[in-house]
Chains A and B, each alone.
Chain A
Amino acid sequence: MTDDDIRIIDVRKPSSDRPIVVEGLPDVGLVGALAASHLVDELGLEEVAHVESSLLPPVMVLHKGVLSDPIRILGNGKAPILVLMSEVAIPPYFVHGLAETVVGWLVGKKVSTLISLGGIPAQNRVDIETPSVFGVANGDQARDSLTKANVEVMQEGFIAGAYALLLKNCRRNNIPAMALLAQAHLNYPDPGAAASVLQVLNNILDLKVNVGVLLQKADELRLRTRDLMRQAQKTIQGMGKMSEQEIPLMYS
């Protein structure tokens, strides 16, 4: 795979100089995807760029009759935030190249911080009323931000998937990055977990995103996102996600 295989095509210039990027690609419980699409609605974001690649299935998406690429970056709304989201599951073979290309784009746009939103599988999720959120940081600055927001920071363990590579590539390029991970259903869309990560995002970025709306339409979202969840189930298996349940050799 070469750099030319995956391209990010700019559609319009982001309105803020040092934007914060929020990533919500389809993963465990579609937590990031549900949270990202809610952010796009609530902040009134429009497309600023999209991902093109001959390595992806030949799929486009229609909204209100307008043709769009399924992996997009949206922004220029009420807050200096860009949102990376996808309406198709990300194939495991595509993740490395995508993370490399996205972080190259973040460097070019002088992005100040990357925040990934996602889920961690909780076997007893049906017994949890409000999912807890844990943080993963790629360095001291991100860790301080999590600690100030009273987010419990993960100390030991594995992380797997697109967000793991985004954290790593951001660190290599001196971009502070963190992941907010809510307890979630592994294989079912989980709007409750998405609401939990958005509550924490509100605290960290001083936003006022209405998560009540997300909870009110939870059933509708669970119905509508069954197809994306089924796609993501297959890709999750290939991402080494089960390693997130394992204890590392050098545990201390």
Chain B
Amino acid sequence: MSEGYSDWFDELYERVRREALRPLWDIAEGCLEPLVDVHELEKEIVITADLPCVQSKDDISIKAYEDSVELEASMDRGIIWENWGTVQRHLHFRTFKKRIRLRSKTDPKKAKASFKQGILTLRLPKVSRGVPVEVR
């Protein structure tokens, strides 16, 4: 195995491990991480996010880039779980935040989003890289 491949694999493993162990809340930012789903289709990437306590599309901010999406949403109330855990009981959550890395390049200018029943759906068209090949 080449050293480059080994480094890449180690980095990937570490990223997956961190993702699995990371809590869905952040003390430093006082925010919650929403549950998200990323589906890669042939021509687009469809991202959904579960945003309970977010009342309107006006409370959601999305920044779409070619290879990532930044999502932030304000909840309609501050959330405190007074009996939960040790340090957590003092935390006050007001927002959702999530940065999603994309596996394919997209065209952020053509992104479309909708918000229904507390679920955000974001559609990002993929940048076509395929070139038709004539069969003779």
Cβ contact within 8 Å between B121 and A223: no
Cβ contact within 8 Å between B24 and A230: yes
Interface residues on B, range: 10 to 19
Q: In the complex, what residues of B have CB within 8 A of residue A224's CB?
A: 81
Cβ contacts B94-132/A at 8 Å (1 or 0 each): 000000000000000000000011110100000000000
Cβ contact within 8 Å between B52 and A187: no
- Per the bound structure, the CA–CA distance linking A224 and B25 in Å amounts to 12
Q: Is B26 an interface residue (CB 8 A)?
A: no
Cβ contact within 8 Å between A185 and B32: no
Cβ contacts B18-30/A at 8 Å (1 or 0 each): 0000011000000
Nearest Cβ in chain A — how far from B93, in angstroms?
9
Which secondary structure dominates where chain A touches chain B?
Answer: helix
- Per the bound structure, the CA–CA distance linking A126 and B34 in Å amounts to 17
Q: Nearest CB to that of A188 among chain B residues? A: B50
Cβ contact within 8 Å between A219 and B52: yes
Q: How many pairs of residues, A versus B, come closer than 8 Å at their CB atoms?
A: 41
- Per the bound structure, the CA–CA distance linking A219 and B50 in Å amounts to 10
Cβ contact within 8 Å between B35 and A188: yes
Given contacts A187-B35, A188-B35, A189-B50, A226 and B119 within 8 Å (CB-CB): no
The residue from A126, A222, A227, A229 contacting B116, defined by CB atoms under 8 A apart: A126
Interface residues on A, range: 10 to 19
Q: In the complex, what residues of A have CB within 8 A of residue B60's CB?
A: none
The residue from B32, B34, B52, B116 contacting A218, defined by CB atoms under 8 A apart: B52
Q: Is B70 an interface residue (CB 8 A)?
A: no
Nearest Cβ in chain A — how far from B117, in angstroms?
5
Residue positions of B touching A, CB distance < 8 A: 23-24, 32, 34-35, 37, 50, 52-53, 79, 81, 83, 116-119, 121
